[in-house]
Amino acid sequence: MRKARRIEDKISSRILRHPLFYVCRDIERAIGLVPNFPNYYIITNASPLAARLAKKYRQIILIKGRENLDTWELLQLPQTKKIISAQGGSALGGKPNILVFKNTPQIEGLCHKMGWKLLNPSAKLAGQVEEKISQIKWLGPLVKFLPSYKVTVCKKITWTGKKFILQFNRSHTGSGTILIASKKQLDEIKHKFPQREARVAEYISGPLFTNNNMVWSDKILLGNISYQITGLKPFTDLPFATIGNDWALPYKILSPEQIKQYNKIATEVGRRLKKSGWKGLFGIDVIMKQKTGRLYLLEINARQPASTTYESQLQSTVCHSDPEDSGEESLANRCTTFEAHLASLLSVSPDKYKLITIKNGAQIIQRITHKKISIRQLADKSQISNLTKKKFNIIIYNNTEPNSDLFRIQSKKGIMSAHNKLNKVGQAILCCL
């Protein structure tokens, strides 16, 4: 049995008397930490992955119903309240810790009412940072990292004959970002939303990158940069939908100078978040302008980014298998992204901890498109079975809404050879679809 690393010991000591409950719609958000970790509980909807893991780990509690519930709905269930009271109640000498994927004012109010300690940073601050209009004011001097932009109501936007990006205040995984490519398209939006405020920005063509960073006490830890797979058919119908990550490709595309530029943007955003009172994970999306090589900040995710779990699983594999990093001191000072997130929120001292570096691995999501309606149709065609036979890890979802996740394909190797181009591993995935 392997010796526990120091970060694991410190997290364990923090939740010894105050158990931690991760409550989430999809179990995948919470399994960046092995689900048998002492006093770490997961409360989530039943799903194929959740059911399989629940058989192995007793600390996973499944809520079964006809429909998947969101986090707020899960938290307010009498069943959930009873579980939290039984496993983490006052008999243990304090408030149970609650962690969610994305905080909301409703969740904050419920946790306060129930006497639970919500670990997530303020929902109000997260909104200011993420939303496209309020973000500009919050960024202050950091707007220099953005593509050129203006904010106005839709009826005042004019067509100049040049493509541009239009963003409404709120969006999710690219669904609120629109490439305006014609006067007719613009006129339709102006007619439908004449008074709606929007951010109008320069259209930049080039590869998109992202990484998961940490505000941990007085430190800013920079995570591994991944190429963000966006709008790739047949995985999605939406041109700006985020559908995956490739941790190998950035090292083939970005120069050392560009990586330095990227890290500068991430560090400056992290410092501003720290000044605003942020703790834990945040992500940034950065685009490289194909013609000039310059990097621009596109998005800030003030929360645990969706790629955190698989990145942490890849890091864990490296940590326990890399002979060059097997020394006791090296192992003690290294942590996964998810571990660092928990440690920060639990006020563990950052000491000399460093995030584990990875330079390989990828995941891609098959969204529900007009051609892929249900998982049953895929099963009938044996696509899932064929992917599994080729040693890809598959996570199946119960979603039915258009553009929601149908299943996720995970690979320990990169799947992209260039921007918007699959390599041999990626082509093997495509052949199964």
CATH number at residue 29: 3.40.50.10090
Q: In whole angstroms, how large is the CA radius of gyration of the chain?
A: 22
Tokens (6 digits) for 202: 């320069």
Q: What is the pLDDT of residue 10?
A: 94
Same structural domain, 267 and 156: no
Domain that includes residue 258, residue range: 121-145+204-433
Same structural domain, 276 and 328: yes
Residue 327: other Cβ atoms inside 10 A: 10
Q: 56 and 42 in contact (C-beta within 8 Å)?
A: no
pLDDT for 91 beyond 60: no
pLDDT for 106 beyond 80: yes
Q: Which of 14-18, 96-100, 325-329 has the lowest mean pLDDT?
A: 325-329
Q: What is the pLDDT of residue 325?
A: 45
SS percent in the chain: helix, strand, coil, step 5: 35, 25, 40
pLDDT for 216 beyond 50: yes
Residue 198 bridge partners (DSSP): 152, 168
* Ramachandran area for residue 154 (φ above 0: left; ψ -120 to 50: alpha; else beta): alpha
Q: What is the pTM of this model?
A: 0.91
**320 band by pLDDT with thresholds 50, 70 and 90:** low
Same structural domain, 389 and 283: yes
Number of domains in the chain: 3
Q: What is the pLDDT of residue 323?
A: 46
Residue 431 is inside which H or E element, if any?
Answer: helix 424-432
Same structural domain, 404 and 424: yes
Q: What is the pLDDT of residue 287?
A: 97
The string of pLDDT tens digits covering residues 256-266 is 999 999 999 99
pLDDT for 81 beyond 50: yes
Q: What is the pLDDT of residue 371?
A: 63
Same structural domain, 125 and 221: yes
Residue 275 is inside which H or E element, if any?
Answer: helix 256-275
- The pLDDT of 345-368, averaged and rounded, is 95
Same structural domain, 240 and 385: yes
Q: What is the pLDDT of residue 365?
A: 95
Q: What is the pLDDT of residue 1?
A: 42
Tokens (6 digits) for 248: 């190998």
Same structural domain, 413 and 290: yes
Same structural domain, 75 and 161: no
Q: What percent of the chain has pLDDT over 90?
A: 78
Cα diameter, the chain: 68
